[in-house]
Amino acid sequence: MTSFRWYLVDALIRWLLDNEHIPHVVIQADLPGVDVPSEYVKNNKVVFNVSPQAVQGFSLGPKGIEFDARFGGMSRHVCAPAGAIVGVHAKGSDVGFEFEPEDTTSEEGSDVNPTKQPAKRRVPHLRFVD
């Protein structure tokens, strides 16, 4: 069964935006498949403002979360499997959810940015027909 976590995260982010709150996502930084700026990690977690004004190319789905954001004036790509999302909350409010981290290695397709070797090319099996 697929995880329902990303559905809850997506719904809460949309609700926060609809109600003029600034959504923040908390990611567990020490899990496999997580690619975040390490200089912003505290206690193995990092918090990101994911409002449309703060990020570009935002994507959230069963495989995880991805976006581009600026850190210290430099654009950086952030990606993490859905199981690494451990919280969503509104800035300056007690509205939000907290989750326990999930095992990101056992989920099928959990890598947002997989580092798999390319598949071997198969030789085409075509023949000339008169």
Convert the pLDDT of each residue in 77-102 to its tens digit.
999 999 999 999 998 888 898 988 88
What's the whole-number mean pLDDT along residues 57-68? 94
Q: Does position 17 have pLDDT exceeding 50, yes or no?
A: yes
Q: Which two tokens stand for residue 23?
A: 């959504």
Q: How far apart are CA 82 and CA 99, in angstroms?
A: 11
Helix (H) or strand (E) holding 11: helix 5-18
Q: Domains for the chain: give ranges and CATH numbers.
A: 5-98 (2.30.30.220)
Q: Does position 127 have pLDDT exceeding 80, yes or no?
A: no
Find the range with the poorest average confidence among 22-26, 62-66, 124-128: 124-128
- The 10s digit of each residue's pLDDT in 105-120 is 754 444 444 333 334 4
Q: Report the length, in residues, of the chain.
A: 130
DSSP 25-69: EEEETTSTT-B--GGG-BTTEEEEE-STTTEEEEEEETTEEEEEE
Under a CB-based contact definition with an 8 Å cutoff, are residues 109 and 66 in contact? no
pLDDT at 61: 92
pLDDT at 128: 52
